[in-house]
Amino acid sequence: MPQRTLEQLETPALLLDPQRMDRNIERMRSRLNALGVSFRPHVKTNKSIDVTRRILPAQGPITVSTLLEADYFAKHGFRDILYAVCIAPNKLAHVAALQEQGVQLSIILDSMETARVLTEAQARGRRFDALIEIDSDGHRSGVKPDAPELVEIAKFLERGGIPVRGVLTHAGSSYECTSVEAIRAMAEQERAAVVHAAARLRAAGMACPVVSVGSTPTAMFAQHLEGVTEVRTGVFVFFDLVMAGLNVCSVDDIALSVLGTVIGHRPDKGWTLLDAGWMAMSRDRGTASQPVDQGYGLVCDLAGRPIQDLILVGANQEHGIVGHRSGKPDNTPHLPVGTQVRILPNHACSTAAQYDHYQVVGPDHEVSATWPRFNGW
């Protein structure tokens, strides 16, 4: 089958630059090797066996955020899977079904309520590998590392026949840092919190072999990870404008983009209209609080080079509105109807979630392959 050019694609389309992606993967792998920790990549961003095999050709341990992800990767031979969202009772049968297929599926919890649910299910013949989530930054869920209930939950689980495999945390607040120094401080806060929690459990008589952290910014800027056993990162594989705004990567590292086509103009407003709105890009506005607001995405030419400070200033369901960053209509260059552009996303995870496949772009901007991906729960 002859290769297609980008101009032959119907838009919007999700483009993946494998050369940039491979560089990003190698950068993270080298970084974690230098820090002396194991790698358990989060596959929620890519949701694709073709991408994941580039990260883990040996089918090593992975992290998922949905049980559909666990199903999919189990079918492709992955057997060591961490489901990194606190477990809900209505998912325990699904967990058991995966275990029956030979998958070592670890689940997490952060409350005595859930511990009781698990021990009751265990008493009825279920088996669980559990980790306790630690709140290292007040960002989301988890038990505070100094909280009395941390040891209480662990002891309750162990008495119920559920060994505590370890503790894990995610420093989501790293996405809100305003400097590299702040990210480094957050990385140490993340590390110290989870290592302290593990030490408390060990002092209470539990082995706690796994000490897991996970955040692309903190992984890239941690000064050391003493006491940590594994790192879970996901968005590093593609990077995005939020990561570039944090100085975790450069715009030239972003491997994911959306191909859109010019369909009209509003010269009075300085707008160029695309066939790629929020259904193509998502509504994520993660750069809005950063020093450089990229709107709904940064507009580039077909080679991936930014065009004269053009961003997606607005987005309707199917219409993307391109304008100059300055807001001045006269600053917007004229792009004729039919012109194709590539738009770099704010958040790779949410943009990729709008599509069921990647168009893999070769070195001459040809479409060298189509890789399927999936969505849902």
Q: What is the DSSP letter of 69?
A: H
> Which of 256, 213, 207, 254 is closest to 233 using CA atoms?
213
With 0-12 / 13-18 / 19 or more C-beta atoms within 10 angstroms meaning exposed / middle / buried, residue 46 is buried
* CA quadruple 134, 136, 141, 147: dihedral sign: positive
Global pTM value: 0.95
Distance CA 206, CA 164 (A): 7
User: Mean pLDDT of residues grouped by 10 in the chain (377 residues)?
Assistant: 84 98 98 97 98 90 98 96 98 96 97 97 90 95 97 97 96 95 98 98 97 96 98 98 98 98 96 98 96 97 95 97 95 96 98 98 93 96
Helix axes 148-159, 180-203, angle to 10 degrees: 50
pLDDT at 58: 79
* CA quadruple 202, 110, 96, 103: dihedral sign: negative
CATH number of 20-237: 3.20.20.10
Residue ranges of domains in the chain: 20-237, 251-372
pLDDT at 2: 63
Per CATH, the architecture of 251-372 is what? Answer: Beta Barrel (2.40)
Could you check whether 20-237 and 251-372 share the same CATH topology? Answer: no
- Consecutive H or E run containing 254: none
SS3 state at 62 = strand
